[in-house]
A = this chain, B = another copy of it.
């Protein structure tokens, strides 16, 4: 893990130095949490979603986070406009397909975004990623009950190649792949599933880490690792959800490379 440590350290240093502005077009349920994780680690979050201002806003940003929770028609226009502008300027775009598959509006939105915008990192849970995988590979059915790690690796690698982006699947074990290299992250705790927005926050953390403009692959891994390692450390079986949320934010804000020890819980698939 010595390489990972070097890359992670470099990204974290860059964040503290550059204070990357992370432009979010996101939902109103978890926007506050997303802003707080970005800010607590040294970044600068901004939320702006009127189609009229998103191109200007993303032009001064270091990365763009598109999150389709509480989606509506205005936001879809904003996603496309901001995404295209980010592409022109070489600003990384991180996509969170919240609830894709649940409604046609969300599925169509994702299809439109993927057709119009070059995505740097796509982060979702297994069900969301499988849904998109199914959409992109119509010749092959996707069994939504098949969420084994093995199936995850195959999907992550295949989708990464098709979409030419990093795929991050978060769950019991997180999987991050650029289509050639694939990593498993064994950090985390089940209690993270009892808090709303841990997925959205992870996407924002990836936005922050990619905003450091070092490596999108390592940026995606580090974003996932910060949430998973913090969620693991924050857990105390004597405490309940309210206190756990507070401690999760404590651990995220104090995250440093020391929190992952020798990196034993992060390994490359072979």
Contacts and interface: CB of A to CB of B under 8 A. Distances in A.
A70 B29 CA distance: 13
Interface residues of A, number: 53
A215 interface: no
B29 A32 contact: yes
A245 interface: yes
A87 interface: no
A247 B246 CA distance: 11
A103 interface: yes
Contacts of A36: 195-196, 241, 245
Contact of A250 (B243, B248, B250, B253): B243
30 contacts: A27-B47, A28-B31, A30-B32, A30-B35, A35-B197, A36-B195, A39-B194, A39-B195, A45-B196, A46-B99, A46-B102, A48-B70, A48-B71, A48-B99, A49-B72, A52-B105, A53-B104, A53-B105, A56-B102, A60-B102, A72-B74, A194-B253, A240-B251, A240-B254, A241-B252, A242-B248, A242-B252, A242-B253, A245-B246, A246-B246
Given A27-B47, A50-B105, 11 more contacts: A30-B32, A32-B197, A50-B71, A50-B72, A52-B73, A53-B106, A56-B104, A239-B250, A240-B250, A240-B253, A242-B253
Interface of A: 27-33, 35-36, 39-40, 45-50, 52-53, 56-57, 60, 69-74, 99, 102-106, 194-197, 239-243, 245-254
